[in-house]
Amino acid sequence: MKFPTGTASLLKGQSPSSLLAASRAGRPRFCAPRVAARAAAAGRTLASVHTPIPTTPDPFSQIGATLQGRSGRKYVIQQVLQDRENRFVYLAEADKKKFVLKNLFESEYNYALSLQPKLSASPYLRAVHDTIPGEKMFVNEYLSDHLLNFAWKDLTLPVKKRILRDALRGLAAMHDHDIVHLDIKANNIMVDYRQTRDGIVVDRVQLSDLEDSTHIPPKSELRGLQVGNHWWRSPEAHVKAAINKPTDIFSFAIVSIFLLLRRVIFWMDLPQNSDPSFAILERQISHFADWDDFDGFLDYLGRGHPWRQNFSQIAKTFNENNPRRPFSLWRSDVLDEDFKDLIGKMTNFDPRKRITAREALEHRWFQGLED
């Protein structure tokens, strides 16, 4: 299948506040997809997993409370940072240091805790620092900001490369253990930084929200789950096709584009509760699908997949009057040919052809960076 192509114009009208709200809202109801994913990876069905909804008190009643971790350290809750659908995130202090406390469903707590030994060795992953077992809480170290906010600061290209490289190192460490993140997005990359006379100095970069990750054994995959956030999600994740490490790689490429352009390229202002999937898939085909790899993607879906015909119909909408806008043809002072090549390899429409996190780290765009 061949598509007419044209030169892209960049998206306008995005702001940090609107993007943060959209990035938090644009995900499925949390509990069922995650538990189903872990059940599938373990060879169980969703029906065999019991996931009670916790009877959580008013989260603001916890402010000022002191909770003791397994380590013996006492954490004083200072602020409610987020309500994640009955899973609250708190800012706390202990020994004059800041920490982030997250309460989880019991099944998620036990599963995520079992993965921590494989994740804690990497300095590029925000693994669990401590636990509060009675509250089913994870304790993480506090970092200054997340990338969805931090990207709007005055950052040099070497700083941006360093952030992406270190986050990619964290993702590679996860993939080395066959652990798939499933929710790669800009606000899940944390940055610790200082403002100096010479500019911003980044001290640490970590990939976060590891408690939402899933172990997928070799030669296995997840199916029937729409994981992640729809502004950053891969084509196969949008249509609940086979999911594995390549879906993280696609999402990471979209984060990389965001950091350089300050644009979430699939974001659109839509009425509340509307489903943007069809419009996003149209953009994904426009920006990243060439005819050969698009046909490979249809083969990847399989003949019986319910979205196979929809993809073919979307592809047919591109013509001389409505040409595709391939990312490789985008024009911007911050998009060099090496970066376009890296993104092209990470967003190959056929997931089987995408490069791995380790291969991406060896790409020439990252070469020459200091540690």
- pLDDT, one tens digit per residue, over 131-140 is 999 899 999 9
* Domain endpoint, select from 141, 158, 174: 141
pLDDT for 18 beyond 60: no
The enclosing domain of 298 has a CATH number of: 1.10.510.10
Query: Are residues 20 and 115 both part of a single domain?
Result: no
Closest CA to 233 of 202, 268, 277, 191: 277
Structural domain count, the chain: 2
Q: 3-state DSSP call for residue 306?
A: coil
Q: Among 92, 113, 141, where does a domain finish? A: 141
Q: Are residues 257 and 277 in the same domain?
A: yes
According to the model, what pLDDT value does residue 283 have? 96
Q: Would you say residue 46 lies in a domain?
A: no
**Angle, vertex CA 191, rays to CA 12 and CA 124, nearest 5:** 120
Instruction: Judge contact between 226 and 32, C-beta under 8 A.
Output: no
**Strand, coil or helix: 171:** helix
In a shared domain, residues 263 and 231: yes
Q: Say what the pLDDT of residue 30 is.
A: 38
Q: Are 263 and 352 contained in the same domain? A: yes
Q: Is residue 11 part of a domain?
A: no
Inside any domain, residue 4:
no
In a domain, 47, yes or no: no
Q: Are residues 223 and 168 part of one domain?
A: yes
CATH number of 89's domain: 3.30.200.20
φ, ψ for residue 52, nearest 5 deg? -70, 145
pLDDT score recorded for residue 274: 81
Residue 46 CB burial class (10 angstroms; 0-12, 13-18, ≥19): middle
- Domain holding 118, by residue range, is 52-141
Residues 70, 196: one domain?
Answer: no
Same domain, 112 and 154: no
Using an 8 Å Cβ cutoff, are 177 and 215 in contact? Answer: yes
DSSP H helical segments within 29-105, as ranges? Answer: 31-41
- Residue 122 in any domain: the answer is yes
Q: Residue 350: CB partners within 8 Å, gap ≥ 6?
A: 293, 296, 297, 299, 300
Q: Residue 336: what pLDDT?
A: 96
- The answer to whether residues 81 and 181 belong to one domain is no
Q: Is residue 5 part of a domain?
A: no
Residue 173 within any structural domain of the chain: yes
- Mark whether 150 and 274 lie in a shared domain: yes
Q: Please check whether residue 272 lies inside any domain of the structure.
A: yes
Percent of the chain, pLDDT > 90?
A: 73
3-state secondary structure of 204: strand
How far is residue 353's CA from residue 51's CA, in Å, rounded to a whole number? 36
Burial class (CB in 10 A: 0-12, 13-18, 19+), 341: middle
Q: Which of 141, 166, 189 is the last residue of a domain?
A: 141
Confidence (pTM):
0.87
Domain co-membership, 176 together with 323: yes
How many CA within 13 A on the CB side of residue 291?
7
Q: Which DSSP state fits 57?
A: P
- Together in a domain, 91 and 174: no
Average pLDDT value over all residues in the chain: 87
119 and 193 fall within a common domain: no
As a whole number of Å, the end-to-end CA separation of the chain is: 44
Distances (CA, A) of 93 to 9, 67, 99, 191: 46, 10, 6, 19
The pLDDT tens digits of the residues spanning 32-59 come to 445 455 555 444 433 333 344 344 556 6
